[in-house]
C-alpha cells in the first residue's frame, strides 16, 4: 500500500483543525448565550415572586383595614350585605392581580434566543455541506 504524500495530507489536517476550532468556538458561544438567558429567566422569576409577595402582604393589610372600617360603618344597616360586598370586591381584586401575573409570563419562551441561534447555525451548516 502506498502512503499519500505528506504535502496532500497537511491541507486536509489544517482544514480539520480549523473546522474543529470553529465548532468549539460556536459551541462555547451558544453555551454562554444559554447561561445569560437562564440568568435572565431566574431574575424574572425572582422579580415576579417578590411582586406577588408584595401584592399579597399589602393587599392583606389593606383588606383587613378596609373590612373593619366597612363592617363598622354598615353594621346598623346590614352586616351580611356589607360582608358580601367586601367578598365581591376582594375576589375581583384577586382576579385582576392573577391576570396581571399571567400576562407577565405569557409572552416569553425559555432560551428563545439560544434556540434561534442554533437554528441559524444548523441552516448555515446544511447549506455549507450541500
Residue 3 DSSP symbol:
P
Note the pLDDT tens digit of each residue in 92-120: 988 998 999 888 877 666 667 777 887 88
pLDDT of residue 57: 92
* pTM, two decimal places: 0.44
For the chain, the structural domain boundaries read 11-122
Residue 5 vs residue 42, higher pLDDT: 42
User: And the C-alpha cell for 96?
Assistant: 385582576
Q: In 10 A of CB 70, how many CB atoms?
A: 15
Residue 65 CB neighbour total at 10 angstroms? 10
Residues 55-66 have pLDDT tens digits of: 989 988 987 888
Amino acid at each position: 500500500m502506498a502512503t499519500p504524500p505528506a504535502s496532500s495530507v497537511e491541507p486536509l489536517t489544517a482544514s480539520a483543525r480549523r473546522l474543529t476550532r470553529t465548532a468549539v468556538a460556536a459551541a462555547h458561544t451558544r453555551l454562554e448565550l444559554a447561561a445569560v438567558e437562564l440568568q435572565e429567566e431566574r431574575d424574572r422569576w425572582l422579580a415576579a415572586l417578590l411582586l406577588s409577595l408584595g401584592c399579597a402582604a399589602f393587599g392583606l393589610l389593606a383588606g383587613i383595614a378596609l373590612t373593619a372600617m366597612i363592617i363598622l360603618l354598615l353594621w346598623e344597616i346590614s352586616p351580611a350585605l356589607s360582608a358580601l360586598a367586601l367578598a365581591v370586591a376582594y375576589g375581583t381584586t384577586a382576579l385582576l392581580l392573577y391576570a396581571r401575573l399571567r400576562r407577565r409570563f405569557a409572552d416569553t419562551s425559555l432560551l428563545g434566543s439560544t434556540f434561534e441561534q442554533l437554528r441559524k447555525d444548523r441552516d448555515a451548516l446544511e447549506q455549507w455541506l450541500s
